[in-house]
Structure 1
Amino acid sequence: MTLMDTGVADAYPTRIPGNPELLDRTDPTVWGAASDGPIDAATLASHDAKGYSIVEGLLSPAEVQAYWQELVRLSADPALNADERVIREKQSRGVRSIFDVHRLSEIIDELVRDPRVLDRARQILGSDVYLHQTRVNYMPGFKGAGFYWHSDFETWHAEDGMPSPRAVSCSIALTDNYPFNGGLMVMPGSQRTFIQCAGETPEDNYKNSLKEQKTGVPSEDHVTAMAAEHGIDQFTGQAGSALFFDSNILHGSGNNITPYPRSNIFLVFNSVENALLQPFAAGKPRPDFIAGRDFTPLRR
């Protein structure tokens, strides 16, 4: 544990000179109990052990179609062509992600408050929650580029000032996820280890990292060691299913060279008791559309 310049204790130092190490996580994965929400005791225990849980059929087929049409609308909206919230693929220049999407879409703004989503996030984190980040991800057939192995919390800690990994992400599939169309891979149980990363954070790193992350990624040796210890699971299933996963779990995805697109809505909930501070390993915070600093608790 180290101290920031402000005197705040840093339990998860990263972006360091020298050789990065594997650190034991000092915070729980699950903060709530079975009586706190819709997740039953067995599923909650599994989430605690693996760092993730899957909800089949969270959305109905009709809801999936409505959200899919919303993704199509957003990606074709000429008003967003020059918007910094729209991230384009490095090679194809197609839309890769659109951030802050709950402010751009009324139905997605309603989704973040839907009890099927919000109550699970509150239960896992054991508190009221606010939105750290929202986005939609597009992975079109043939051209969709993957995401290298990483821990979201490493970035959120280093560049956004998130003190501890008391955050949970909800990825809702709007297309069928097959083993072969770039589905998300996770290492179950890896959330209990914080993987330090080497090097300094470049200025305005987000402008490049949202297209291709090079800073804040674990070494190949550490990825190999974690895979040997934990193995790899892959999120597959029908459109409408949802994956809730811990902010520190090691995950990634391959390129999509199939004809089948893979798109999802991605919502990040942070505990109101884990509000952002100054970045732990960057010169200034990332913009609010990537890391929200409105800590008002979400209400239905």
Structure 2
Amino acid sequence: MTVVDARTADAYPTRVADRPALIERAEPTVWASSIPGPATPDELAAHDRDGFHTVPGLLTPEEVAAYRAELDRLATDEAVTADERTIVEKSSQQVRSVFEVHKLSELIAALVADERVGGRARQILGSDVYVHQSRINYKPGFGGGGFYWHSDFETWHAEDGMPVPRAVSCSILLTDNHAHNGPLMIMPGSHRTFVSCVGETPAEHYRQSLREQEIGTPDPDSLTTLADRHGIAVLTGEAGTAVFFDSNCMHGSPNNISPYPRSNIFLVFNSVENALVEPFAAPGRRPEYIAARTFDPI
């Protein structure tokens, strides 16, 4: 399947006005479908209600050890660290993320196609899926940088041309996530409200935003409204746990000032029926390794 050039009507305008807005979502979270998969009815109900669900022990301890070794290999491979797909910390120059990792690692490519992962994404989205983005994230102890509150869909819509929030992310923990080492935080139920952001997207914004995002982050009043309405869940868990969350969930993570590192594999699946068009609020497309424009089903 090839690149789609056509534009669709913009149901989620963002970065085009001088004031933020809250837009209630029209699309479902769990798409009605007869597609079978590993998610239980209770997990799908939680995903629909909260915008996410956790799967403890998705990976076995042996698999966790193998993927940790793969992350170590990638982080120390000179060809990988010199590649434009590798993002380093703004202050320490340590590896922060490696993008398009399923094309750099056969082990992670196999994980994408695993029924426990890709099959669950198909079940949630009600269609065949493709990998919109993949990466590994490192958050070392004593200085691993956080990610400010944001909706991934806001960025993917504005900068990549994703029409509607019919995508799901899978974060697989390769280290224990504690409350003190920069865990993922989500506002449960926030996936039902799109926060339109203020600020025009600069050219090649991704070069700065992958280290520290400023454009595309919600205003304090909108964040306070969502937090008052939904609360904040701190997602802790043992290595091997997976979190599947909707593309429009308001989420973030704090800096890691503990001695204990936090790392994960991050996979984004988009419905093949929601293929990218031209960016809705950016002067140009982001690179293929950040936003895939080949929509072949996994």
CA distance in 1, matches of 2:32, 2:73: 37
Check conservation: 1:170, 1:268, Cα contact below 8 A.
yes
- Look up the match of 1:252: 252
Say which SS state the counterpart of residue 112 (structure 1) adopts: helix
* 1:199 aligned residue: 199
Residues 157 and 279, structure 2, Cα contact 8 Å, conserved in 1: yes
> 2:82 corresponds to which residue?
82
Q: How big is each residue's C-alpha offset from its partner over 1:157-187, in whole Å with a ceiling of 9 and x where there is no partner?
A: 0000000000000000000000110000000
AA aligned to 1:109 is A
Partner deviation per Cα, 1:203-231 (whole Å, 9 max, x = no partner): 00000000000000000111111000000
Pairwise CA RMSD of aligned residues? 1.2
Aligned to 2:236: 236
Residue 278 of structure 2: aligned partner: 278
The equivalent of 1:43 in structure 2 is 43
The alignment covers a number of residue pairs equal to 294
Q: Which 4+ stretches in 1 moved above 3 angstroms?
A: 32-35
Report the Cα offset of residue 118 of structure 1. 1.0
Query: Which residue type is aligned with residue 146 of structure 1?
Result: G
2:21 maps to a residue whose letter is: E
Which amino acid letter does the alignment assign opposite residue 106 of structure 1?
E
Query: Is the counterpart of residue 11 in structure 1 residue 11 in structure 2?
Result: yes
Contact 2:130–2:295 (CA under 8 A) maintained in structure 1: yes
Say whether the 8 Å CA contact 1:33–1:41 is kept in structure 2: no
Cα contact 2:8–2:277 (8 A) shared by 1: no
Instruction: Output the amino acid matched with 2:150.
Output: H
In structure 1, the gaps of 5 or more residues are: none
Unmatched tracts of structure 2, length 5 or more: none
Deviations 1:206-262 (A, max 9, x none): 000000000000001111110000000011110000000000000000000001100
Contact residue 167 and residue 271 of structure 1 kept, 8 A: yes
| Alignment match, 2:175 | 175
Provide TM-score, normalisation by structure 2.
Answer: 0.97
CA distance in 2, matches of 1:225, 1:235: 21
Alpha-carbon displacement from aligned partner over 1:57-109 (angstroms, at most 9, x marks no partner): 00000000000000000000011232110000000110000000001101000
Q: Which amino acid aligns with 1:124?
A: I
- Check 1:7–1:242 CA distance in 2 against 1; reply closer, same or farther (3 A cut): closer
1:6 & 1:292 partners in 2: Cα distance? 16
Please report the TM-score for the alignment, with normalisation by the length of structure 1. 0.96
8 Å CA contact retained: 2:6, 2:277: no
Query: Partner residue of 1:116?
Result: 116
Structure 1 distance, partners of 2:50, 2:161, is 25
Alignment of 1:278-297 (within 5 A): 278-297=278-297
- Correspondence list, 1:136-175, <5 A: 136-175=136-175
Alignment identity in percent? 63
